[in-house]
C-alpha cells in the first residue's frame, strides 16, 4: 500500500486531529449564515495556511451536500516543481491528521487514459495547493474517495474537456484550488481581486483577464464550463494579520 504523505501538516494546517477539529469548530462558530443557491458540482477554494484562508475555504465546504458524492477530484497549481502538463496521484491512500482517505485509483487511471496531458510524477505530489483541501474533505465528505491532480505548464483550454467530464459525473465533486492576488497593499489587492470576483460571479472569462490568481488556469477552465456560480466568501490576509502592506486575497465559490 502506498500513501500520499502529508507535506505541510504542522505549518499550513495542524498536524493533530484534535487541533484540526478545533479549527473547524472555530470557523463554524463565526461563519455567516449563508445557504447554497443550488446543488454545487464544483468549488473554488483557497490554499494558504488555515490561519489566513481556512475560514474562507470552510465556508464553501460546509455547504456541500455530502450525500451527493462518492469522489472528490482536487486540482491545483504546482508552486515548486515544473512539468509540461499535469500529474495525477497514483497512490492507494491520502494521509490527513484524522483519517486516511482512499484514493480512487481506478478512476485516476481512467482519467489518465482519457487525457494525454496527465502523467504521474511523484515529486509534484508534495504540493500544498491540493493538500490543504484534504482535511476539509475528510471532515465534510468522510465517505468519499479522492483524486489529486497537480498542473504546471498547461493551457486552461487543455483542462476544459477534463473539467467537463468531471462536471458530467453526477457523483463527482470538482475542487479547483487557488489564492488570488499576492503582496499588494490592501486597497490595491481589493481592486485587483474584484476582477476575479466579478468574473467568477458572472461566469465571464473575459472579466478574468485582469484577475491575478496563482490558480487562474484552473479557474478559467472551470468558468468555461460552469452554468451557475455563487461567491461564498472573500477576505484577505489582512483580516488575520493586520498587515495592509503585503496582502494576499482569498475567495471561495460554489459552481455547477
Joined grid coordinates for residue 128: 500544498
Confidence check: pLDDT of 32 > 90: no
| Helices of type H across 52-182 | 55-61, 105-114, 128-131, 134-140, 156-168
Confidence check: pLDDT of 33 > 80: no
Which pLDDT value is given to residue 1?
Answer: 86
- pLDDT classification of 75: cutoffs 50, 70, 90: very high
Residue 81 to residue 67: CA distance in whole angstroms: 35
176-205 pLDDT tens trace: 999 999 999 999 999 999 999 999 999 999
Residue in the block written with cell 461566469: 203
% pLDDT > 90, the chain: 97
Mean pLDDT for the stretch of residues 43-63: 98
Which pLDDT value is given to residue 172?
Answer: 98
Give residue 127's Cα distance to chain centre. Answer: 12
The per-residue pLDDT of the chain, averaged, comes to 97
% pLDDT > 70, the chain: 100
147-174 pLDDT tens trace: 999 999 999 999 999 999 999 999 999 9
Q: Which residue, among 193, 198, 238, 195, has the nearest Cα to 53 in the 3D structure?
A: 238
**Domains contained in the chain, number:** 1
- pLDDT classification of 31: cutoffs 50, 70, 90: confident
Q: What is the CATH number of the domain that holds 64?
A: 3.40.830.10
Joined grid coordinates for residue 205: 472569462
User: Distance between terminal CA atoms of the chain?
Assistant: 35
Residue 219 to residue 156: CA distance in whole angstroms: 8
Structural domain span for residue 150: 3-255
Helices 186-202 and 216-225: angle between axes, nearest 10 degrees: 30
Residue 130 to residue 89: CA distance in whole angstroms: 11
Which pLDDT value is given to residue 50?
Answer: 98
Cα dist. 1→92, 102, 190 in Å? 6, 11, 46
Confidence check: pLDDT of 90 > 90: yes
Q: Which residue, among 79, 99, 11, 76, has the nearest Cα to 50 in the 3D structure?
A: 11
Amino acid at each position: 500500500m502506498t500513501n500520499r504523505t502529508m507535506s505541510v501538516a504542522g505549518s499550513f494546517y495542524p498536524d493533530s486531529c484534535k487541533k484540526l477539529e478545533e479549527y473547524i469548530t472555530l470557523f463554524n462558530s463565526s461563519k455567516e449564515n449563508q445557504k447554497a443557491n443550488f446543488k454545487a458540482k464544483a468549488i473554488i477554494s483557497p490554499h494558504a495556511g488555515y490561519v489566513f484562508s481556512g475560514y474562507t475555504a470552510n465556508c464553501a465546504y460546509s455547504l456541500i451536500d455530502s450525500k451527493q458524492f462518492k469522489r472528490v477530484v482536487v486540482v491545483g497549481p504546482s508552486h515548486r516543481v515544473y512539468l509540461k502538463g499535469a500529474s495525477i496521484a497514483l497512490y492507494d491512500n491520502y494521509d490527513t491528521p484524522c483519517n486516511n482517505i482512499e484514493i480512487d485509483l481506478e478512476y485516476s487511471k481512467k482519467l489518465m487514459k482519457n487525457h494525454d496531458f496527465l502523467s504521474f510524477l511523484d515529486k509534484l505530489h508534495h504540493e500544498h495547493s491540493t493538500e490543504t483541501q484534504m482535511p476539509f474533505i475528510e471532515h465534510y465528505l468522510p465517505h468519499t474517495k479522492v483524486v489529486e491532480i497537480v498542473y504546471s505548464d498547461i493551457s486552461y483550454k487543455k483542462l476544459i474537456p477534463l473539467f467537463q467530464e468531471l462536471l458530467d459525473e453526477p457523483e463527482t465533486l470538482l475542487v479547483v484550488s487557488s489564492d488570488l492576488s499576492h503582496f499588494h497593499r490592501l486597497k490595491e489587492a481589493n481592486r485587483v481581486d474584484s476582477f476575479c470576483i466579478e468574473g467568477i460571479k458572472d461566469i465571464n472569462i473575459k472579466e478574468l483577464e485582469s484577475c491575478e490568481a496563482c490558480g487562474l488556469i484552473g479557474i478559467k477552465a472551470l468558468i468555461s464550463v460552469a452554468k451557475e456560480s455563487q461567491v461564498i466568501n472573500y477576505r484577505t490576509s489582512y483580516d488575520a494579520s493586520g498587515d495592509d502592506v503585503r496582502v494576499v486575497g482569498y475567495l471561495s465559490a460554489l459552481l455547477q
